[in-house]
Amino acid sequence: MLDLLTLTLEQQTPEQTQGETADFTWQWLAEGLLQCTPKSSYSKTMVLSAGIHGNETAPIELLANIIKDLFTQRLTLGARVLFVLGNPEAIRQGVRYLENDMNRMFCGAYQHLTPDRETYRAAQLEQMTAQFFAQSHPDAARYHYDLHTAIRSSLLPVFALFPYQVQAYDDFLIQSLNAADLDALVYHNAAGKTFTHFTAETFQAASSTLELGKAKPFGQNELSEFAAIDQVLRAVLSGQALPVRQKPSIRQFKVVDSILKQSEDFQLKLNADAPNFSRFEKGELIATQHAGNTVVDDQQVWILFPNPNVKIGLRAGLILKEIE
């Protein structure tokens, strides 16, 4: 059995870097990277990632439990999968990131930053993901679920973001997120530098970033809160039917604007602890700064990821409209 989380936390290389179980072969590729391939034929090839932000521990524990159940044959593998624990040093230190947000480093963006452990890791993840998809069966449908938890609370606690793309969004991906009892889907309106944008744009994977509640330290997560997404990921991995949705209909939003911090006098007109999906009405002021204020010109908008403490030039929030 290979315990990817313990190896990563203890910065260890396993004694054996490849092997097989009754139903799949496995290979430890590098720190926090484990590839598993079914011995039988498969129709899906997928990246399952967590820990791109090191302090978002619940999804890391979720993946660790799935890996354990695969190796102990409590879960059958029916898809080819690359498990990714994204930012190992940040995971060990219990911080979101060391120097720069790693989920803004993909699509080659790391090349424009001062080289460090995180830029090296982003380059390695791009390379390993490319290798993984290239070695998968060419007819297998490609998927990427990137699991996160949010810095702040949310009025819609569990939601998914789709990277911007011109082609239609994958039906099975949407069905799986619906089955996972997510409260909302959010569609990006512009290209980004996230891990999921990289896999969607470069490999035409059906990709989604999942926000699953609030970030807590290891040992403080109530994993029963994540039962629905856990059940869906296990169904997708094993080729079983998706569970039936238990919640009211999922809500859908599109990004209509980004709030950019352009100067140090930037202020968001929100309480410091205001939740995601806080709502603004027409004429209300969302943000002020020397370069110009952000005022609502539609009937109603919602704000996502408000964060006035980002570096100048970075996004301090997303403005959403609901898709009826």
Question: For every one of its 324 residues, what pLDDT tens digit does the chain have, with 9 covering 90 and above?
Answer: 899 999 999 999 999 999 999 999 999 999 999 999 999 999 999 999 999 999 999 999 999 999 999 999 999 999 999 999 999 999 999 999 999 999 999 999 999 999 999 999 999 999 999 999 999 999 999 999 999 998 778 899 999 999 999 889 999 999 999 999 999 999 999 999 999 999 999 999 999 999 998 888 888 888 888 899 999 999 999 999 999 999 999 999 999 989 889 989 898 888 888 899 999 998 888 888 988 888 888 789 999 999 888 888 888 899 999 998
Q: Tell me the CB-side half-sphere exposure of residue 261, using CA atoms within 13 A.
A: 16
The model's pTM: 0.94
Enumerate the domain spans of the chain: 4-238, 256-323
User: So what's the pLDDT on residue 34?
Assistant: 98
What is the token pair recorded at 62? 């979720």
Cβ-based burial of 258 (10 A; exposed 0-12, middle 13-18, buried ≥19): middle
User: So what's the pLDDT on residue 293?
Assistant: 85
Answer whether 174's CB lies under 8 Å from 186's CB. no
Domain 256-323: assigned CATH number:
2.40.50.630
Fold of domain 4-238: Aminopeptidase (3.40.630)
User: So what's the pLDDT on residue 46?
Assistant: 98
CA 237, 85, 68: angle at the middle one, nearest 5?
50
In the chain, DSSP finds a helix count (H) and a strand count (E) of 7, 16
From the candidates 15, 31, 211, 324, give the one annotated as an active-site residue.
211
Distance CA(40)–CA(15), nearest Å, equals 27
Helix (H) or strand (E) holding 69: helix 57-71
The residues, any chain, with a CB within 8 Å of residue 247's CB and separated by 6 or more, are: 181, 183
Spatial strand order of the sheet with 267-268 comes to 267-268, 285-288, 294-295
56 labeled part of a ligand binding site: yes
Catalytic site residue 211? Answer: yes
148 labeled part of a ligand binding site: yes
How far is residue 163 from each of residues 6, 209, 214, 248, measured CA to CA in Å? 31, 8, 21, 24
